[in-house]
């Protein structure tokens, strides 16, 4: 009979988070105070999320950045515009080269997203609007869509190389 009350040894995960931070945050309320008055129609809200990753150092240290843009319009006029770049520094240990892109562009943003979501909710609330609660994002679907768009140019075993825009791209064929 085994003793189930004995503590289990901690298992080190391959992802370590060193820091999370706001890289850039902007909120515009161009029509205030008129934009804060009751509207005849509900506002149209549009949210866009982008993920970028870049190797920062030779020791498997990567920066992953979530870029969130949220805008509200009513009767064709801008109510608000919120733009957030939220970053995280991650060390990936023991991640096979062929799994590097999925970990950086799916798992790392999944860890950052709740914090970025809270910042957008706070800034829209502080701007005088109801807090904008962004729905969960399927980063795996975003990755698959991006991968299928670039499948013709991607090699079978991509290596990580920083692009000029900071995103991680497969090497040129």
Domains of the chain by residue range: 15-132
Instruction: Compute the chain's Rg from CA coordinates.
Output: 20
Cα(152)–Cα(130) distance, integer angstroms: 44
Tell me how far apart the alpha carbons of residues 29 and 91 are, in angstroms, rounded to a whole number: 38
pLDDT by 10s per residue, the chain, length 173: 555 566 665 555 678 899 999 999 999 999 888 888 887 788 899 999 999 999 997 778 999 999 999 999 988 889 999 999 999 999 988 878 888 889 999 999 999 999 999 999 999 999 999 999 999 999 999 999 888 876 534 433 333 333 333 333 333 33
DSSP 9-40: PP---SEEEEEEEEEEEEEE-TTTTGGGSPPS
Cβ(120)–Cβ(84) under 8 Å?
A: yes
Q: What is the pLDDT of residue 13?
A: 65
Angle, helices 139-149/108-126, rounded to nearest 10 degrees = 110
pLDDT at 75: 85
Count of Cβ atoms closer than 10 Å to residue 173 Cβ: 7
Measured CA to CA in angstroms, residue 6 lies from 10, 14, 108 at distances of: 12, 25, 32
What's the pLDDT at 123? 97
- Please tell me the CATH code under which domain 15-132 is placed: 3.10.420.10
The two tokens of residue 61 are 């240290």
Position 117 scores a pLDDT of 97
What does the alpha-carbon distance between residue 110 and residue 104 come to, in Å, rounded to a whole number? Answer: 10
Per-residue pLDDT at 164: 32
The two structure tokens encoding residue 94: 């023991």
């Amino acid at each position: 009979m085994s003793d189930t009350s004995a503590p289990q040894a901690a298992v080190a995960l391959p992802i370590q988070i060193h820091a999370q931070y706001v890289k850039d945050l902007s909120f515009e309320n161009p029509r205030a105070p008129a934009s804060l008055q009751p509207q005849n129609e509900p506002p149209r809200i549009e949210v866009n999320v982008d993920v970028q990753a870049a190797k920062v150092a030779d020791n498997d240290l990567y920066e992953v950045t979530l870029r969130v843009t949220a805008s509200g319009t009513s009767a064709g006029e801008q109510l608000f515009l919120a733009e957030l770049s939220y970053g995280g520094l991650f060390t990936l240990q023991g991640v096979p080269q062929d799994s590097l892109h999925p970990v950086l562009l799916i798992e790392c943003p999944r860890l950052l997203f709740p914090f970025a979501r809270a910042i957008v909710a706070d800034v829209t609330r502080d701007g005088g609007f109801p807090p904008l609660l962004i729905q969960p994002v399927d980063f795996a679907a975003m990755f698959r869509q991006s991968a299928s768009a670039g499948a013709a140019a991607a090699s079978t075993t991509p290596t990580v190389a920083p692009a000029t825009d900071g995103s991680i791209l497969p090497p040129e064929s």
